[in-house]
Amino acid sequence: MPLKHAKWITGIITLLLIFPIVIGLVGTLLPAFAYFPPLGEYTVSLAPWRNLLSQGEFYASLKLTLITGIVAPLLALWLALSLLAWGYQRPFFRKIEALLSPILAIPHAAIAIGLLFLLSPSGWLVRLFSPWLTGFDRPPNWITVQDPYGISLILALVIKEMPYLLFVMLATMKSIKARESLQVGQTLGYSRFTLWRKVLIPQLYPIIRLPIFIVIAFSLTVVDLALVIGPNTPSTLAVTLLRWFNDPDLTMRLMASAGAISLMLVIVLVLASWEVAHLLFRQLTRAERSNGKRFGLTDNILRLGVVLGLFTLLNAFVALALLPIWSLARRWRFPDALPSQWTWDNIERATPLLMKLTTNTLTIAFIATLMACVISLVMLETKRHNMTDANSSKPHVFDWLIYVPILLPQIGFLFGLHVLLIYLNLNGDLDAIIALHLMYVLPYVYLTLKGPYLSYEEEYLQQANRLSHRPWRNYFMVKIAMLKPALFTAFAIGFSVSIAQYLPTLIAGEGRYSTLTTEAVAQAASGDRKQVGSMAMLQAFFPIMVFWLAQFIPPRWTRWRLKLKQVFHIGLIKKDKTC
């Protein structure tokens, strides 16, 4: 990018990012030490911490959070790697890839509700086999969902996270030259799985480390999913904190803030231990990786992962397919596998909402995502300059800062931020909503663009500039044009992230701006599957469309453009002739 003051711009954007993060943190930190003027608390003390540590529920929730928050990302990573190793570059895998975007696009709460209906004792699976096989006239008293060990919650988390990891991995395949390595490896006689295990995964891991961290932080802090399908005696720490924050006894907020700080510490500790574990794992497997054997027993781990991964995907699709059926159901009782009475009422009731809410939703998502794309391009350009100038790949502070908002638990952090917005008199403004969305969209867009942008062959641009020195035009017509697929994908991801934001929309907009998501979550409060089914469909429609367009447009763009040019030219020629 022929930008002159790239460094300055980066500096300013970095400052703009630091400011809300610091305020959000301070706004959580102070109440955690009992300083909270609105409740008349002016003395700093450790009382909130003493309260917190004397709560048995804190430890029980923490234990559950650690189990679900560590097991889920581990499983998701294992299954995603297995599926990738198994299917990469095979024709049928393209189809599975295309199916990933709906799962990425659909809001967590909707997936959880679909899954709940699939797996519960009165759910679709049991209905399918009742009463002819099981003999059940009524649902059995089993605990298949909301189990105290959090197994169903882990499954829901894996369903949401595995596609994301797979998506990210597929995007990085080019930069580690996977195809070439596979070809070389296979001519050397390595089996596919062994090759992945020994050569590709070790190269892949450092690149996808951040997405993995995001997934871990998400698993540790998720609220909506855990509310629907997680256990409730106790619930995960994030849900327990939400309850404390919302307790009518306002002094509970102090203890809740202390809890939010501990959750942040837990995230840091888990991420650190994860890294240490990875180092240890690498040391332990080093000998095995370089022993030259072309096959290995451990290949079976990947094989098992493929089976489980496919099973998880199947689960996700059935759960998602059931939701639209609910939106058409009038009566659908146990043990009917399909509704006994159908109706359009549910959809009709939801339609006026669609009209009203779509404008808000799309405005916010488009502006926030476009801004995120532009900011990411500027940042990446600066980063590229730094890399070539100083020959050092030391990460800019921005690289880490940008992820802070998504690595922090939303509950405590956003309350602190809300106070800032009120100070600035920005509360309840569309600008404020867009700004907050931007904070959550930017990391994902930046992350998606980073790999392709930095590995771009700069020679093309230089050559173009040598031919005709029009830096801006060439930047757009050559570099950006070549990065189109990555840009479209980044846009699609950012767009769906924006659409799914619930708490930021609610807090910045003070409920005055409803979006499809705030409405859907408010509806989900009623637990009515028919409404949730209709709302989830509407909510998922736009992200799915954008994802589809992101895959559909780039390969056809040039053809269309040329055709358009041709038509235009023919028109001109004809015009000439008539003249």
Q: Which of 96, 207, 301, 419 binds other proteins (CB under 8 A)?
A: 419
Rounded CA-CA distance 411/239 in Å is: 9
Q: Which of 24, 231, 504, 543 binds other proteins (CB under 8 A)?
A: 231
CB of 5 to other proteins, least distance (A): 34
Q: Please identify, using beta-carbon distances, which residue of 255 and 461 lies nearer to other proteins.
A: 255
Is 348 among the residues that bind other proteins (CB under 8 A)? no
Is 423 among the residues that bind other proteins (CB under 8 A)? yes
Write out the binding residues for other proteins, residues 546-565 only, by CB under 8 A.
Answer: none
Is 429 among the residues that bind other proteins (CB under 8 A)? no
Rounded CA-CA distance 539/517 in Å is: 7
Q: Please identify, using beta-carbon distances, which residue of 258 and 402 lies nearer to other proteins.
A: 258
Interface stretch with other proteins, choices 55-63, 191-199, 484-492, 549-557 (CB under 8 A): 55-63
Tell me which H or E stretch contains 330: strand 329-331
What interhelical angle do 252-289 and 209-221 show, nearest 10? 140
3-state SS assignment for residue 252:
helix
Is 349 among the residues that bind other proteins (CB under 8 A)? yes
The pair of structure tokens assigned to 388 is 């070539």
Is 352 among the residues that bind other proteins (CB under 8 A)? no
Q: Please identify, using beta-carbon distances, which residue of 381 and 519 lies nearer to other proteins.
A: 519
Rounded CA-CA distance 438/427 in Å is: 16
3-state SS assignment for residue 341:
strand
CB of 319 to other proteins, least distance (A): 17
Binding mask 121-150 for other proteins (x = CB under 8 A): xx---------------xx-xxx--xxx--
State the Rg of the chain over Cα: 26
Q: Which of 331, 556, 565, 569 binds other proteins (CB under 8 A)?
A: 331
Q: Is the separation of the CB atoms in 433 and 364 below 8 Å? A: yes
Binding mask 241-270 for other proteins (x = CB under 8 A): --x-xxxxxx--x-----------------
CB of 349 to other proteins, least distance (A): 7
Q: Please identify, using beta-carbon distances, which residue of 101 and 361 lies nearer to other proteins.
A: 361
CB of 205 to other proteins, least distance (A): 37
Closest CA relative to residue 2, chosen from 312, 374, 378, 282: 378
CB of 163 to other proteins, least distance (A): 27
CB of 28 to other proteins, least distance (A): 12
Closest CA relative to residue 404, chosen from 25, 31, 61, 131: 25
Is 528 among the residues that bind other proteins (CB under 8 A)? yes
Q: Which of 9, 18, 35, 57 binds other proteins (CB under 8 A)?
A: 57
Closest CA relative to residue 68, chosen from 234, 207, 206: 234
CB of 262 to other proteins, least distance (A): 17
Is 232 among the residues that bind other proteins (CB under 8 A)? yes
Write out the binding residues for other proteins, residues 530-549 only, by CB under 8 A.
Answer: 530-531
CB within 8 A of 340, min separation 6: which ones?
331, 332, 333
Q: Please identify, using beta-carbon distances, which residue of 227 and 365 lies nearer to other proteins.
A: 227
Q: Which of 17, 319, 372, 521 binds other proteins (CB under 8 A)?
A: 521
Q: Is the separation of the CB atoms in 244 and 259 below 8 Å? A: yes
Is 301 among the residues that bind other proteins (CB under 8 A)? no
Q: Bridge-partner residues for 329, per DSSP?
A: 342
Rounded CA-CA distance 152/150 in Å is: 6
| DSSP-assigned letters across all residues of 19-67 | HHHHHHHHHHHHHHTT-BGGGTB-S--SHHHHHHHT-HHHHHHHHHHHH
Is 234 among the residues that bind other proteins (CB under 8 A)? yes
CB within 8 A of 192, min separation 6: which ones?
85, 86, 182, 186
Interface stretch with other proteins, choices 6-14, 80-88, 285-293, 525-533 (CB under 8 A): 525-533
The pair of structure tokens assigned to 528 is 């009515």
Rounded CA-CA distance 33/532 in Å is: 40
Q: Which of 213, 415, 446, 547 binds other proteins (CB under 8 A)?
A: 415
Is 291 among the residues that bind other proteins (CB under 8 A)? no
Alpha helices in 230-344 (DSSP H): 237-245, 252-289, 299-327
Rounded CA-CA distance 364/130 in Å is: 46
Binding residue count for other proteins, defined by CB under 8 A: 66
CB of 497 to other proteins, least distance (A): 21
Q: Please identify, using beta-carbon distances, which residue of 380 and 421 lies nearer to other proteins.
A: 421
Is 99 among the residues that bind other proteins (CB under 8 A)? no
Q: Which of 12, 26, 39, 46 binds other proteins (CB under 8 A)?
A: 39
Is 522 among the residues that bind other proteins (CB under 8 A)? yes
Rounded CA-CA distance 518/515 in Å is: 5
Q: Is the alpha carbon torsion for 502, 149, 321, 335 positive or negative?
A: negative
234: Cα within 13 Å, side-chain hemisphere:
20
The pair of structure tokens assigned to 287 is 């000998």
CB of 216 to other proteins, least distance (A): 25
Q: What are the residues binding other proteins (CB under 8 A)?
A: 36-39, 56-57, 59-60, 120-122, 138-139, 141-143, 146-148, 227, 231-235, 243, 245-250, 253, 329-331, 333-334, 341, 343, 349, 415, 418-420, 422-423, 427-428, 506, 510-512, 514, 518-519, 521-523, 525-531
